[in-house]
Amino acid sequence: MTIQSLLSFSKIIGLMFATITLSVVTSLVIYLLKRMWRKKKSKLVWTPISSVDRRSNLSYEEFVREYASVGKPAIITDVVKHWKASKKWTVDFFRSEYGSAVGQVLDCATRTTSAMTIADYLDYMTLKERDKLLCLERLLIRDYPELREDYKVPAYFPNLFERIPEKLRKKYKLEPGHLLIGHKNTSVGLHYDSHHENAWVAVISGKKRVVLFSPDQQNFLYDGKVDAFNPDLERFPLYKNANPVECTLNQGEIIYIPPDWWHHVKNIEDTITLQHNSIDKWNSELVFQSFVEVNPSKGHLFPLILEFPWLGRALFAIGLL
C-alpha cells in the first residue's frame, strides 16, 4: 500500500470518527435540552374524583388524554379476557407447575413477611378455618419469565423500564411485574407506590374492593396506618377530613393507579392478581429525581441509559454498572 493510499485511508477513518463523535455529541445535546424542558414542565398532576370510571373500547389516545396525562384512575374492563392467563392461571395450575417455588407471604395483621412455598400457601388458603390472614404478596415474574407468555402488557401502559438492557434489568431487579395470591379478607394495607411510579392491577380471578385517595390527602392518612375499610377515628382523627373513593374490581378487570395515589385493596373473594409498576413520559422526571435522591451517581445515569441503551450495555461490559 502506498503512502498516498495510507493517507487517504487515515482521512476516511478520521472522517468516520468525527462523524460518529458529532452524532453522539448532537444526540447528547438534544437529550440535555429535552431534559431541561421536561424538568421545568414536570410536576405531580392529579384530578380529584368522586367515582372511578369503568371503560371499554378505550383508545390509547383517549386513555392518555382522560387519565394518564391528568393523573386520574380508571378501570378497564375488556383487556384481560384476551389473555391466556385468564383461563390458565388457576389455583390448580400454580400448585402443579410452581408448587415448590418460594414466594413472600405477608401477615396482614402484623405486617411481617416470611417465605413460603406456593403449595404450602395454597394449602393454607383453602383451609376452612384459619388463624391468620396471610397473603402471598410477591411472586416475581422475572423469576418465571415463561409466565410473560400468558399475558400482554396493555398498550395503555408503555414502560420505559423495557428500554434498559436485559442484563441490567436482571442485575438491579427492575422487572416490575409480580403475582399476588390471597384468600378472602386479606390486604397488603394502605400505601402508595414508591418512586412516583404508576401501577396497574389486573384481577385474573376473584374480586376486590379498592379505596383510593388523591395525593393531596396524604396528611390525613397517617403513613398508611389507617384501615380505610374500618377507620379508627379515635386513633386517627384527621382521617375524617379524607375523601375516600371506593370501587369494586371484578374478575377480568384492570385498575390504573396514577403516581402517588394512596390505595387500600382488600380481597372480597380468594383472588389471583397480576400487578405491574411502570414509568412513562408523564411520571419519568419525578421517578428520575427520586432515584437521584436514593443514589445520586447511578440515579443520574438512569435516564441516560433509558435514552441511550448502548451506554448501559457498554458500562455494564466494563464493570461500571
pLDDT tens-place string over residues 36-76: 666 666 688 999 999 999 999 999 999 999 999 999 999 99
pLDDT-based confidence at 35, cuts 50/70/90? low
- In this predicted model, what pLDDT tens digit does every residue of 162-174 receive, in sequence order? 777 777 777 766 6
Q: What is the pLDDT of residue 33?
A: 62
Please indicate whether residue 23 or residue 142 has the higher confidence score (pLDDT). Answer: 142
Domain locations along the chain: 3-39, 42-315
H or E element at residue 272: strand 271-278
Please indicate whether residue 267 or residue 2 has the higher confidence score (pLDDT). Answer: 267
Cα first-last separation, the chain: 43
Say if residue 293's pLDDT is above 60: yes
The three cell numbers locating residue 286: 419525578
- In this predicted model, what pLDDT tens digit does every residue of 72-130 receive, in sequence order? 999 999 999 999 999 999 999 999 999 999 999 999 999 999 999 999 999 999 898 88
Please indicate whether residue 265 or residue 38 has the higher confidence score (pLDDT). Answer: 265
Say if residue 279's pLDDT is above 60: yes
Residue 263: what are its φ and ψ, rounded to 5°? -150, 145
| pTM of the complete model | 0.86
Return the SS3 of 39: helix
State mean pLDDT over 209-229.
Answer: 97
Residue 260: name the closest of 215, 312, 311, 302 by CA: 215
Long-range CB contact pairs, 63-68, < 8 A, 24+: 63/156, 63/256, 67/256, 67/258, 68/156, 68/198, 68/256, 68/258, 68/280, 68/282
Give the DSSP per-residue string, 51-69. Answer: S-EEESS--HHHHHHHTGG
Say if residue 21's pLDDT is above 90: no
The three cell numbers locating residue 320: 461500571
Please indicate whether residue 12 or residue 293 has the higher confidence score (pLDDT). Answer: 293
Q: What is the pLDDT of residue 287?
A: 86
State mean pLDDT over 274-296.
Answer: 87
Say if residue 304's pLDDT is above 90: no
Of the ranges 175-179, 224-228, 307-311, the best mean pLDDT one = 224-228
Q: Are 276 and 159 in contact (CB under 8 A)?
A: yes
Average pLDDT across the chain, whole number? 88
Which residues make Cβ contacts (< 8 Å) with residue 307, sequence separation at least 6?
A: 31
Q: What is the pLDDT of residue 133?
A: 95
What is the maximum span of the chain, computed from C-alpha positions, in angstroms? 92
The distance of Cα 147 from the centroid of its chain, to the nearest Å, equals 17
Q: What is the pLDDT of residue 8?
A: 65
- In this predicted model, what pLDDT tens digit does every residue of 223-247 receive, in sequence order? 999 999 999 999 999 999 999 999 9
Which residues, in sequence order, are bridge partners of residue 54? 75
Q: What is the pLDDT of residue 310?
A: 78
Residue 289: name the closest of 275, 303, 269, 276 by CA: 303
pLDDT-based confidence at 309, cuts 50/70/90? confident
d(CA 143, CA 173): 10
User: Would you tell me how many other CB atoms lie within 10 Å of the CB of residue 143?
Assistant: 14
Q: What is the pLDDT of residue 2?
A: 59
State mean pLDDT over 178-206.
Answer: 95
Return the SS3 of 94: helix
Q: What is the pLDDT of residue 87?
A: 96
Say if residue 142's pLDDT is above 60: yes
- In this predicted model, what pLDDT tens digit does every residue of 155-164 receive, in sequence order? 999 888 777 7
Residue 310: name the closest of 102, 27, 8, 52 by CA: 27
The distance of Cα 16 from the centroid of its chain, to the nearest Å, equals 42
Say if residue 7's pLDDT is above 60: no
Say if residue 141's pLDDT is above 60: yes
Residue 285: name the closest of 153, 197, 214 by CA: 197
Beta pairing, strands 74-76 & 53-55 = parallel
Q: What is the CATH number of domain 42-315?
A: 2.60.120.650
The three cell numbers locating residue 98: 410452581
At residue 230's C-alpha, the angle toward residues 225 and 234, to 5°, is: 65
d(CA 64, CA 103): 34
Q: What is the pLDDT of residue 15?
A: 64
The distance of Cα 290 from the centroid of its chain, to the nearest Å, equals 15
Say if residue 191's pLDDT is above 70: yes
